[in-house]
Amino acid sequence: MSRPVAIIGAGIGGLTAALCLARRGFEVDIIERATALTEVGAGLQLSPNASRILIELGLLAELESYWSEPERIGLVDGQTLRPLASVSAGAFARRRWQAPYAVMHRASLQKVLLAAVESEARCRLHLGCPIDAPDEQVITAVTERIPDIIIGADGIWSRLRNSVPGAGRVRFSGNVAWRMTIARDTAAGLLEPDQVTAFLGPRAHLVAYPLREVEGYNLVAIIEGKETDAVWVGKDSDERRHDCLNAFSGWNADIRSLLDTATAPTYWPLCTVADGAWQDGRKIVLIGDAAHAMTPFAAQGAAMAIEDAFELADCLSTSIDVAMALKKFETARRPRIARVRRRAAFNHFAYHARGPLRIGRDIALKLKGPEALAADLDWLYGYGAANR
């Protein structure tokens, strides 16, 4: 007899978890407060550790109709446009890490996942169901069955987190992100159409990569910021726009022009969830940003939610004791999440370096070379690959 599961949140993590569990025989209800699924944000990097799981779910053909596989990941000096280092991707990523490194619009990934969920007989999606106090009784009223497991995939501002004693608290990271897209012609000669480029500078960096869906590029500018309106919604104002452009003073004039002329940029305070409990020792468990939201300096937020979904389904399918399975999941995932957090913190330090530290960073990158840089990513991108 299959066990019913209730998932709170129909974002990337929640939909992936639903698919993973349904494929293992669970009956899954996904509860979402929105009346329609319209993923906010823009671009998304899917590193091999995440794309491998989506491929195992049988989604490769659908994903390939949306994503691009850049040939390389490049680090560039934002002031001089001097190349600092690069790591091969494209066919190299498929060979080395046994899965693609891809970029796509977040809405496209959600669209693919949603279609797969809707075609899965063991999944039921409940839209327009806001649950402010997601206890078992309220969930049962929506799903009309008592869940054996309740999964919080409701993001950084998770309401289910309040039901987990000792769970981490949300805190402002000290950085804000400006997200925007620009037309391909606007960036001609400055951005590479087959590369993910991270432009580095003191106190700020800018990531750019192509998006097929908009026939242009996704830009994410990350700067040091103030703890104001630290909520997970995009906002803009003349004052905030001035803060963004001021952070890039002294940068290459063409890059500043891109940022200055971009239309409808959105402002996102970057918040994290401090280390804390992910499950209640009985039947409630948090995944993705609800459990351990991190800064985007390693581009692993969505990937960690996808990994969580896969690993949780595996733990639940190999144990009939739910409490034991949830403990096993948390024990297995904590070292991985901690290591990714450390990598993000290191990237933050390196990307925003200034003065002598910046000079030392540039020398170290030059001495290391592409092969050594790729080897440094094996533990991250090769996660779950055979013989690695």
User: Can 209 be counted among the known catalytic residues?
Assistant: yes
HSE at residue 245, side-chain half, CA atoms within 13 A, is: 17
The residue among 247, 212, 254 whose CA lies nearest residue 76 is 254
Q: 212 near 66, Cβ under 8 Å?
A: yes
CB atoms within 10 A of CB 63: 20
Q: Which residue is catalytic, options 209, 217, 351, 383?
A: 209
Q: 8 near 134, Cβ under 8 Å?
A: yes
Length of the chain counted residue by residue: 388
The residue among 269, 318, 321, 329 whose CA lies nearest residue 295 is 269
Token pair listed for 270:
């970057």
Extract the runs of DSSP E, i.e. beta strands, from the chain: 4-8, 27-31, 43-46, 72-77, 83-88, 102-105, 123-126, 149-152, 170-183, 195-201, 204-211, 216-224, 266-273, 284-286
Token pair listed for 54:
């989506």
Letter for the amino acid at 178? W
d(CA 233, CA 254): 28
Give 20's contacts (C-beta < 8 A, 6+ positions apart): 53, 57, 309, 310, 312, 313, 314
d(CA 110, CA 37): 8
Three-class SS state of 237: coil
Instruction: Tell me the sheet residues that pair with 221.
Output: 178, 206
d(CA 327, CA 230): 32
Residues marked active site are found at: 209
